[in-house]
Amino acid sequence: MRFKLYVSLRHRDDALRLLVWDQHPQHPEPDMATLCETRRRRALWLLAAVVDDWGGEWGACEASPPQRGIKSWVELPR
């Protein structure tokens, strides 16, 4: 199975914005969904540390239908 990956990097409104969207499907089993989210957040620990140090924000959420997958985003103030 092949998944697409979308990456966007923009400088707008005095902030640097990064968006990464992958089409990793939602896990139907709650235990697998929790494990997957835990792994994703653990893999992003360095990003979280940098964003926190620069006073920015970051997060991850499900893509809005009809899209599928997860969108991870970062916003760093100038």
Cβ contacts of residue 33 below 8 Å, gap of 6+? 26, 27
Give the residue numbers spanning the domain of 34: 5-77
How many distinct helices (H) and strands (E) make up the chain? Answer: 2, 4
The verdict on whether omega for the bond into residue 30 sits within 30 degrees of 0, i.e. cis, is: no
Give the pLDDT score at 1.
57
Distance CA 54, CA 70 (A): 24
Confidence of residue 57 (pLDDT cuts 50, 70, 90): very high
Rounded to whole angstroms, how far apart are CA atoms 70 and 40?
10
Indicate the pLDDT class of residue 68, thresholds 50, 70 and 90: confident
* Element (DSSP H or E) covering residue 36: helix 30-43
Domain count, the chain: 1
Predicted structure pTM score = 0.70
Q: What does the pLDDT look like over 17-48, one tens digit per residue? A: 999 888 877 788 999 889 887 887 787 888 88
Q: How much is the mean pLDDT over the chain?
A: 86
